[in-house]
Amino acid sequence: SQQGEEDPQALSIQEGENATMNCSYKTSINNLQWYRQNSGRGLVHLILIRSNEREKHSGRLRVTLDTSKKSSSLLITASRAADTASYFCATDPTSGTYKYIFGTGTRLKVLA
Amino acid sequence: EAQVTQNPRYLITVTGKKLTVTCSQNMNHEYMSWYRQDPGLGLRQIYYSMNVEVTDKGDVPEGYKVSRKEKRNFPLILESPSPNQTSLYFCASSLDGSGRTNTGELFFGEGSRLTVL
């Protein structure tokens, strides 16, 4: 079963605007990761946030994690056309099965 | 260059004709995994391997087999492919299968698009 559900499913913004996408999950986790996928290509790791962290930054990316609500958000600031891609969250459940569980993704389109 | 290599990248086959999708990584990773990606369903895990000779089922293992005889290779075998196995397949690897002791980053191959007629 899918652990992560991203919201929205699709997002279209103008270049320079910020893009926010959310991920909700169902069970306790050790960490949550965000990945990016350009159309039909392999996924690329963006950032990992551990369950004892609340916020993390990497360049134009800001990730938050709220374990009480079982949710995470990814903020991309000052979006560029090159940010157009699908974004997935992936969780590492505490059940210890070493099975990353991916959500269904948010398709982001940044208009130049 | 650190990479995960899958072959073939594209394949059209017919129902029942056995096929193997190869996956190789050059990063000395312990953990390897196969996923399939279907529209609206995201990535679903098929099988994973924590180390040589250690494999376990993911969420959708039916109709697939894997083996891990060497650390670097993790082939996906479809003994008797069916049309519902038409999908985009990804192989991935990471140091130890979690982010508990390291970045936990999964490295993905470029994908294998399989069509079963």
pLDDT digits (tens, 9 = 90+) for B72-83: 999 999 999 999
**Identity of the amino acid at B49:** S
User: Using alpha carbons only, how large is chain B's radius of gyration in Å?
Assistant: 14
Q: Which one is predicted more confidently, A84 or B97?
A: A84
Residue among B31, B111, B113 whose CB faces A98 most closely: B31
Q: Write out the two tokens for A71.
A: 């949710």
Pairing relation of β-strands B10-13 and B107-108? unpaired
Q: Which one is predicted more confidently, B64 or A93?
A: B64
Instruction: Kindly compute the dihedral angle of the four CA atoms of residues A6, A12, A17, A19, in this order, to the nearest 10 degrees.
Output: 0
How does residue B101 score in pLDDT terms, banded at 50, 70 and 90? low
Residue A1 pLDDT more than 60? no
| DSSP letters for chain A | ----EEE-SEEEEETTS-EEEEEE-SS-EEEEEEEEE-TTS-EEEEEEEETT-SEEEETTEEEEEETTTTEEEEEE-S--GGG-EEEEEEEEETTS----EE---EEEEEE-
How does residue B48 score in pLDDT terms, banded at 50, 70 and 90? very high
- Predicted confidence at residue B100, as pLDDT, reads 65
Within an 8 Å CB–CB cutoff, is residue A63 touching chain B? Answer: no
Compute the nearest-CA separation of B4 from chain A (Å).
10
Within an 8 Å CB–CB cutoff, is residue A99 touching chain B? Answer: yes
Q: Which residues of B touch A104 (CB under 8 A)?
A: 40-42
Compute the nearest-CA separation of B113 from chain A (Å).
9
CA A45, A51, A57, A61 dihedral sign is: positive
Q: Which residues of A touch B90 (CB under 8 A)?
A: 42-43
- Predicted confidence at residue A2, as pLDDT, reads 42
Question: Cis omega (within 30 of 0) on the bond before A8?
Answer: yes
How does residue A97 score in pLDDT terms, banded at 50, 70 and 90? low
Residue B98 pLDDT more than 70? no
Q: Do B111 and A42 touch (CB under 8 A)?
A: yes
Q: Hey, is B85 helix, strand or coil?
A: helix
The overall average pLDDT reported for chain B is: 93
Instruction: Using a pLDDT cut of 70, give the percent of chain B over it.
Output: 94
Work out the average pLDDT over B1-26: 96
Within an 8 Å CB–CB cutoff, is residue A35 touching chain B? Answer: yes
